[in-house]
Chain A
Amino acid sequence: MATTVENPRPKAAKPKPHLEPDLCKGCLRCIESCNHHCLMPGHEIDPRTGLIPIEVNLENCTACGLCFDACPEPYGLRPEIPEGQPEFVRPEDADHLKRPPRPKPQDVPDALRELPSGATLVLKGNHAAALGALLAGCRHFYGYPITPSTEGAELLARLLPKLGGVFLQAVSEVATVNHMYGTAGAGKRTMTFTSSPGFSLMLEGVSYMIGAELPGVFVNVMRGGPGLGNIAPEQADIKLACRGLGHGNTHAIAFAPSTPQEMLDLTRLAFDLSFAYRNPVVILADGYLGQMTGRVELPKALTQPGLPKWAVSGDASHRDNLISSIFLAEADLEAHNRHLDDKYARMAREARSERWQCDDAEVVIVACNTPARMARGAVAELRQRGVKAGLFRPITLWPFPIDALAEALSGASRLVIAEASSGQLEDEVRLAASHAGLALPPIAAVRHSGGVLPQQDEIVAGALAALAREASATAAPRPAAPCDCSDPDCGCGDEE
């Protein structure tokens, strides 16, 4: 990597200036600084630069040094090499001036340290995620208060100082994500709690973090939108997390926990994955889950984070590092995007899901977050009524666990998607199925928004209605629709 050259400004033996004409831009700023008229505007264009360098006549030079300070170029006007010393050598050729090689940065691995086991905790979702972050070794929290995520931040404000950690309430979500960018750039584990409008504001920074390949954990406790909406639960940021992480070619693993236990476990896991892939990880919770209290078992170990070798951590061995998302040349940026694409492709292995009662299910209900619990209740109720229902719960929304869904659907003739949004989860299911070439059974939607979650009885009714539709469809098969269109791309001719 780059090295430093000796740029001596000896005070005792004052040097006179030396100029390599091709490093002079002819700006003339140095001329006025010399009271002895040693420096004069030049007259000849330097063919190497197309610029006119100054002319130097040091006859009257007193070695006052003022001209050095006037030259904007690092290697423009330079101190002359005193007599008896080797001749001036261009910096790039100056092997003999090179400083000793720097220590190379090494990856310091994370360490797991055993935690005493004890009583089951009783925690609300936001608090569980906060403890998950502490156990994952996060000691840097930045955030801006926003309901219904704030309890997470408030708990960390209390606990982080006890662990020598940093809690900083930022002036905005924009500042928050940029504090995270800095701390992540230094190779440290950092996180925030936010809710939908706040997450929108952070997306610029998330794009920069992805571009610069920085880890960080965003817990978005989703609330109702668009705009100010309300503070009740919604799941309408699925599109942001899966398709809309700021500008450019961006993706991040997006978890959808459904219990306080998962808030803790997935937040912990999020830190590991965000460092493993050098990419942010998003936890999408809903307002209910953030506020919901439940039982939580702590893990058996905590993480003492190491330090990645790419960090800009303010020491000699990491001095050559750069955190940046700029790739000026088109080919370089395309190569970077290909690299990111490869990484996103590797993330496919992180797809996680839960299947419950799907083995013989005729109707599979897809739901995540708190609605997945309503769906679980619905499956139990349907089974009691003798209906073969199953629950498929994506735990990662991106990457979507499409292979597992395909298995869950192997015997199903109906799919019910229950969500607190106007179809964002369904869009993810459809898109993932389309990419995977998976034909989905007919989909029935059970949707709410505005702060209302799909309730168990609605999901039960939705599943029963979907099955009833199938029954009547089987009884009286729809006649092959005669289509008189002449569009060759119309599927009318393909219908079985």
Chain B
Amino acid sequence: MATQAAFYERFERHAGGVGLKGTSTHYCPGCGHGLAHKYIAETLGELGIADRTVTVSPVGCSVFLYYYLDTGNTQAAHGRAPAVAIGHKLANPESIVISYQGDGDLASIGLAEIMGAAQTGIPISVIFVNNAIYGMTGGQLAPTSLVGQKTATSPYGRGHLEGLPLKMAELIAQMDAPVYVERVALFDAKNRVKAKKAIKKGIKAQVDRKGFTFVEVLAECPTHLGVTPPEAEKWVKEMMLPVYPLGVKKDLLAERDWGTLPAPTFEPAEVAAVVGAGAEAPQRFAQGFPQTAWGDDIALKLAGSGGDGAQTAALLLARAAIHEGFDATHIPSYGPESRGGTSYADVHVAAHEVGSPAAPKPHVLIAFNGPSLTKFGPAVAPGGVLLHDTSVAGEVPAVADGVRVVGVPFTKIAAELGYPITKSIVALGALAGATNLLPKESFLTAIRVQLGGKKASLLAVNEAAFAAGFEAAQPAN
């Protein structure tokens, strides 16, 4: 039965398809690329998959693969074809994606992309045409050029600095993820039959959802070898074969199954559950924005060392304020300086919109350790509040006019409760006790929401820590 090779009837992209260019390739006479193209086109016809095939053209002589192959076509940047192919495959797992590359593209500039793609095992079919030289740019050294091979950029032969030929098929086969790797050649009828079979096998494996496949084709570039095509065939046979042994390097087709991917969903109910839309609004307790001497944009700083929970407390504070309908921001200090060293958080609570989210002169400072007390204490704005942990060493520095200093043993209280990690919640309770920033219930609600259903068992502990901090910071103390 006749099948269709997936070549365009007329190569309209080849100089408009006018004249001979409409029916012949741009390749030099005898170029191996034409054969590789033909075997792909025939395979797609025989498997009946041309409709769902996407071919990725590389940069190199085969940059214009899309002139000829009658499939969906994408042209990629130099070396990046396998990465582009993965993008296509993951966009449409049912499509058959072929990544076609030459040796400069795949084995030099695109090494990272081909290794990365192979390592994922994502089912794409890579056809690698190795002719041991750069074609399009005019016959320069390829990573697959042979030792001693003279090229435009190795005029004295591939030598000391150029290293040794790179055996891609063996390299790819060494990786665990690829399912089928073979090296074939085109120099005689027997090998061409094998080459066609290998290309078909590699593509069929993708139809069968097996995984990543790689077929290296030793090909002729008569032009840059400076010989006739039959001589180029002989060169491949006699010179390349000893370096690049032919054959199947790996075949796990019988045992591997990559499977497929689930279809994306856009169902509002599912998306809402994932993004947290439609959650019930927490109850509000505040009677309007807190009446303090600090205006309608209140700045707070919480500072301590890495494990003190300054960030946790700051986030809970911002959350509580947002629940109450105010604007609030939290900015952590982050990066290496926050690991082990001082970690501080700036919080703003504003009636309308927070201006600067930084708190260089906070209205309220919560200092969890001595260094924070020393560093940030003097910065507290006049009329502000300085809350600090009296169970750790540290001198209260000179503070601005009217700053109220409140000492509460955060660490000691948390330890007495048996949960040292609730120190930050004790501090939050102390904040609620020492100021009228937000009602107690706002904080407790924020703690409840933050813990979620998962850590409900911790709720009682946290509530106790909050209450203890609150008590300890009452003005009476």
Contacts and interface: CB of A to CB of B under 8 A. Distances in A.
A291 interface: yes
Contact of A118 (B8, B32, B90, B277): B277
B452 interface: no
Given A2-B12, A7-B5, A165-B264, A66 B189 contact: yes
A314 B80 contact: no
Interface in B5-32: 5-13, 17, 20, 22-25, 27-32
Interface string B266-290: 1110111011111111100000000
A72 B31 CA distance: 7
Interface string A126-148: 00000100110101101000011
Given A75-B24, A183-B87, A302-B268, A376 B353 contact: yes
Interface stretch (B65-73, B411-419, B433-441): B65-73
B23 A23 contact: yes
A437 to B, nearest CB: 34
A182 B83 CA distance: 8
A34 B390 CA distance: 97
Contacts of B250: none
Contact of B25 (A72, A137, A302, A374): A72
A377 B86 contact: no
A135 B272 CA distance: 9
Interface string B164-175: 000000000000
6 contacts: A97-B9, A120-B323, A121-B276, A178-B76, A185-B91, A294-B354
A1 B13 CA distance: 9
Given A164-B263, A304-B266, A314-B53, A159 B113 contact: no
A116 B278 contact: yes
A75 B23 CA distance: 6
Interface of B: 1-13, 17, 20, 22-25, 27-35, 37-38, 41-42, 45, 50-54, 56-57, 63, 66, 68, 70-77, 80, 83-92, 94-97, 112-113, 115-116, 119-120, 188-189, 192-193, 196, 222, 228-230, 233, 261-268, 270-272, 274-282, 297, 315, 318-319, 322-323, 327-332, 334-336, 353-358, 360
Contacts of A314: 52-54, 72, 88, 92, 94-97
Nearest to A121: B276
B8 A295 contact: no
A56 interface: no
A312 B268 CA distance: 28
Contacts of A115: 268, 271-272, 277-278
Contacts of A325: 75
Contact of A72 (B27, B52, B356): B27
A23 B24 contact: yes
Contact of B112 (A172, A302, A315): A172
Among A48, A182, A295, A455: residue with most chain B CB under 10 A: A182
A116 B269 CA distance: 8
A178 B87 contact: yes
A140 B265 contact: no
Contact of B228 (A6, A28, A326): A28
Contacts of B76: 178, 181, 208
Contacts of A429: none
Contacts of A316: 51-52
A137 B72 contact: no
Nearest to B33: A72
B66 A69 contact: no
B9 A178 contact: no
Interface string A1-29: 11111111111000000000011011111
Interface in A78-135: 90-92, 94, 97-99, 113-122, 124, 131, 134-135
Contact of A208 (B77, B188, B297): B77
Given A2-B9, A92-B9, A74 B25 contact: yes
B202 to A, nearest CB: 17
B94 to A, nearest CB: 7
B259 to A, nearest CB: 14
Nearest to B354: A373
A374 B355 CA distance: 6
Interface in A42-57: 48-49, 51
Q: List 10 tightest A-B contacts by C-beta distance, closest first.
A: A182-B87, A314-B95, A72-B34, A377-B355, A116-B278, A171-B116, A27-B30, A178-B83, A186-B91, A8-B2
Most central of A27, A98, A187, A376 by chain B CB within 10 Å: A27
Contacts of A94: 9
Contacts of A27: 29-30, 222, 229
Contacts of A324: 57, 66, 73-75
Nearest to A111: B266
A244 to B, nearest CB: 17
Contacts of B323: 119-120
A288 B331 contact: yes
A193 to B, nearest CB: 16
Contacts of B266: 113, 137, 163, 302-305
Interface string A275-308: 0000000000001100111110010001111000
B332 to A, nearest CB: 6
A74 B277 contact: no
A32 B230 contact: yes
Contacts of A196: none
Given A75-B23, A90-B23, A321-B73, A182 B84 contact: yes
A122 B281 CA distance: 12
B277 A116 contact: yes
